[in-house]
Every structure is written in C-alpha cells, then in structure tokens.
Amino acid sequence: MNLKKVFFNNSFKNTSYILKSDLTNESILIDVPEDPSPIIDNISGLDIKLILLTHHHLDHAGGINTLRKHTNAPIAIGKDDSDSEPDDRIAYINPDIEIKNGDTFNFGDEKISSISVPGHTKGSNCFLINKSLFTGDVIFPGRAGRTDSEEQFDLSVNSLKNTLYLLDEDIEFFPGHGKGGETLKDFQNQFKYFLSNSYKKGMHGVVWWVDGYKEEW
C-alpha cells in the first residue's frame, strides 16, 4: 500500500489520507474536510473506489458532496452516524454504505477493516490496513478525542478497552488532525497508566492520558 497524507491549513489542522494499491491505481480516501481542494489536487489519475469517513463532524465530512461529484465514489460511514441531523458541527452525508464493526473493503490487492469505537461520536470508526490504523478523532498522541459529557467519555474509555487497547502494539496510528507518528504501544502504555492513576468520575472534554504531554499539530 502507498500512503499519502494530505494536511489542511485550516483552524483544525485536519489530516486526510489517500491509500493506493501497490499494483493498481485503485485507491481509498479517508475523511473529507470542508473545502476538499487539497484532496482534489492530489488524486489526479487515481481510481477512487471508496471514501471512508471516520465520523460525521464537518471537519471530517463537510466536503463529502464535492468529492462525491468529483470521484463518483461511494461514501461509507458508521451506521450510528449515518442518519444524524446536520447542524453547525455535523455534516449532511447520505451515505451509500453504513459501516458495521468488522466490515472489510477491498481495493486492488489490499483489504481494509473497520473497527467500531463509539465515544467521540456514536458511530466513530477506525480503519486498519496491515500495520496502519486510521483513528479519526478516537485517539491522538497522548490523549482521547474530545467528548462533551461524562457519559460520552466513559463510553470512549470502555470502547478503547475492548478494541485498540487489545491490538498489536507495533501498529502505527494516524489521527485525523496533526502529524501523528506514534504506535499503539505508546497509546497502550499511556492508557494503562491513565486507568490506574488518573481516571475518575465526571471527566470529559479534552482528557490527556499523561499530564504534561504535548502533541504536534
């Protein structure tokens, strides 16, 4: 697989991903922020087979209708994010595919799998291909994705315990903002420390696994 990161110079510092088969021009896009022109500038000549959305927020899905027209590719998003009412944070999506946990998608000689990790949104998904994991806003280096309530954060923690915390530690993860560059071993060690030393009732918002950690956006 050939991986290309597309960095957005917007206030959210989004990162989208173009995954291309090594054997063909068949490719998959992951996440489409508002004003997707940086993506369009990088997909000339590629056969876009599918657009995967990690969740329904505008900064990850707001440009989806422009990309749908440009590529004619089907749109896939987690079932629990597929019919959300659009507002100032949520995009109108009208997906072709509602993703369920464990669904797989093929392009060229490659296969990518979905992992349902509700918390940041009810329908948040990560996508795993070989030793690369695309996490959207589920996790970032050093912290969880933002949550707006205690219940939402607890859901995120419980989801992570049963999914990413159990995956191979040498998997590199690529978040939906910033540069990333860490492995799941980093996350798993930080998360284990957090569960043992810092986790308490009422937590939500931006929660760091370890105090004093700095991420690079």
Q: Tokens for 29?
A: 């896009």
Sign for the CA dihedral angle at 201, 80, 75, 62 comes to negative
| Residue bearing tokens 């629990």 | 80
Tokens (6 digits) for 98: 């509602």
Choice between 76 and 179, residue whose per-residue pLDDT is larger: 76
The structure tokens 């996490």 sit at 135
Percent of the chain surpassing pLDDT 70: 99
- Report the pLDDT value the prediction gives residue 213, as an integer from 0 to 100: 77
Mean pLDDT over 27-46 rounds to: 96
d(CA 49, CA 41): 17
The CATH architecture that domain 2-143+173-182 belongs to is 4-Layer Sandwich (3.60)
Please check the confidence at residue 1 and state whether its pLDDT lies above 70.
Answer: yes
Of the pLDDT bands very low, low, confident and very high (cuts 50, 70, 90), residue 179 is confident
> Of 133, 128, 134, nearest to 111 (Cα)?
128
CB 102 within 8 A of CB 78: no
pTM of the shown model: 0.97
pLDDT-based confidence at residue 217 (cuts at 50, 70, 90): low
* CB crowding 54-80: b at 16 or more within 10 Å, else e: bbbbbbbbbbbbbbbeebebebbbbbb
How distant is the alpha carbon of residue 166 from its chain centre? 18
Q: Are 206 and 142 in contact (CB under 8 A)?
A: no
**Mean pLDDT to the nearest integer, 18-26:** 95
